[in-house]
Structure 1
């Protein structure tokens, strides 16, 4: 029997992508949708300004949207996916967890909290058991798990694949698509024929979330990785797909050939949304490119190219689809991990 799930913040860009991914999912059945008070009481068809690249699923269009509060969600819903703005998520996600709901959240609030697992299943699936600490500390019957920022999730799997060589310093420059800012985040007059060399709080997210994701969990506490990460984030006029330039200094000798082998061999996980292979490696120095490569692995793969030696150690480029692997798909994958590990 499919797990009944709900979506908090269902009318936004990530909420719509969640609906696209969940409607055909083999294990999940959409049973509840919430949004702002202005949308509550309307059918989803009426409430959502649908912008996704496929029609609203027929079995979702007529669901009545509820307010984003625990009393509005049926008690037999086992899992909630949150795509709420971080300010709203910070206010209401704990209420859902206290009420007994398990929440897989894309919102940025609480990602760095000591008892909240920040998870990429192919990188640190064992961190999910931090939920046991969370439940003991907070007295929750429910639970809260986070996926990282859309730019963090692009390069961290590549770092995990190369960690055997001893990560010391990482410099990353991101070229981020406009969809990462939401439908109304960047106006056409700002971004057409332009690039914006700053994205508020993005640098900090890459620099801190990566250390937590690559850290070690001993069953009681999480020790962050001590790799030094410096980031520069730029918005460019592509629609989807975050491209990133990475410079990596390792403790051990790391040749481009060794790196390519390690990246190609890095495993996926046995969950429906994890692609195989997880990392696509291109020999072509002009790849990956957002338009050509963002949909590899159904939008869940990370692609790497341009691997070469540089003054600062190893240099390469990586790419992932920011609203699938970097947002909605990451939350769905964490939901699958929660189901696999008996948290639902």
Structure 2
């Protein structure tokens, strides 16, 4: 039986990716679209400035966009995907949760809240059980699940593989992040062409905290943050999609480059529709991965790694993910599939 879903904030860049990824989905039936008051009442084709490199699905183009309020969403919608700006989501998401909706959200608010699962299905699916704690703490019948920041989700699967085999102690990462991560109008052409911007507001803190929560231990009540030390430097570069990251990791157990590559290649995935068959692809070629060549691997859901080398104190390597697919809409979609598989929807 189809699971009826809706998208909160459907006209933005991530909302458009949701629509692309939900087209012909075997489980999810898109039944509701919401956006700002300016877009409410219009057809989706009229409301959205479509930027995705594929046509708007015909059945979606003519759907009416509703306001982002619980009374405007159909009662028989089973699951909501949220791509709202975090400031809006902070106010709006609880309204839906108090009405009993399950929300898989890409918005950054509440990611580090102690009763909210911050989840990557291949990494920490057991953290979904925080939903019971959340319902007790907040007094709602709904459920809120978050996926991490697009830069965090690029490196954490590789870190999980290293931690499982060699026990991570510290991580240093420098990112080269695509302009799509800032939204369509987030970085002007005069700022980014022939340039690189060595700061992205709030991004470093997200990487440093979210990674420790994702790799933390859940004891049935709380998540104890992973004890590794993490420091990040985040940079915007003039690529369209695909975040490339340079990672330096120190481990308690000695690891060769070959050991690390094998740990990443063999890290187990999940049996979900949108998940790649192999979570991490490891390149032997030291000049890969590259954003233009490798961001679409696994339909944009696979993590790529390469350039793995030993240093005097640990390992260094590069990793890459498609930031608006694996790092945003695709991550929320995969969490939605996990919620269904685990019986929360």
TM bucket (normalised to shorter chain) is over 0.9
Question: How far, CA to CA, are the matches of 1:243 and 1:322 in structure 2?
Answer: 10
Flag as ranges the 4+ runs of structure 1 deviating above 2 A.
Answer: none
- C-alpha separation between the residues in 2 aligned to 1:221 and 1:321? 31
Q: Distance in 1 between matches of 2:64 and 2:129?
A: 34
Once the two structures are superposed, residues 184-221 of structure 1 have per-residue CA deviations (whole angstroms, 9 ceiling, x without a partner) of 00011100000000000000000000000000111111
Q: State TM-score, norm by structure 1.
A: 0.99
> In the alignment, is residue 90 of structure 1 matched against residue 90 of structure 2?
yes
Report the Cα offset of residue 311 of structure 1.
Answer: 3.4
Aligned residue in 2 for 1:248: 249
Secondary structure at 2:150 match in 1? coil
Q: Secondary structure at the match of 2:327?
A: helix
What secondary structure is seen at the aligned counterpart in 2 of 1:237? coil
1:280 aligns with 2:281: yes
Instruction: Give the drift of 1:260.
Output: 0.6
Contact 1:242–1:319 under 8 Å retained in 2: yes
User: Structure 1: 5+ residue runs without aligned partners?
Assistant: none
| Structure 2 Cα separation of the partners of residues 24 and 160 of structure 1 | 32
- Residue in 2 aligned with 1:218? 219
Q: 2:324 aligned with 1:329, yes or no?
A: no
- Asked if the contact 2:174–2:246 (Cα under 8 Å) also holds between the matched residues in 1, the reply is yes
The 1-side partners of 2:222 and 2:342 are apart by 19
Gaps of 5+ in 2: none
Coordinate RMSD, CA, aligned: 0.6
C-alpha displacement at 1:166, in angstroms? 1.0
- Identify the residue that residue 14 of structure 1 maps to in structure 2: 14
Tell whether the 8 Å contact from 1:267 to 1:276 is kept in structure 2 after alignment. Answer: no
Matches within 5 A, 1:1-344: 1-163=1-163, 164-344=165-345
Partner-residue secondary structure (3-state), 2:124: helix
Question: Which SS does the other structure have where 1:119 is aligned?
Answer: coil
CA drift of 1:139 comes to 1.5
Equivalent-residue separation in structure 2 for 1:66 and 1:171 (angstroms): 44
Q: Distance in 2 between matches of 1:198 and 1:56?
A: 34
Distance 1:248 1:104 in 2: 31
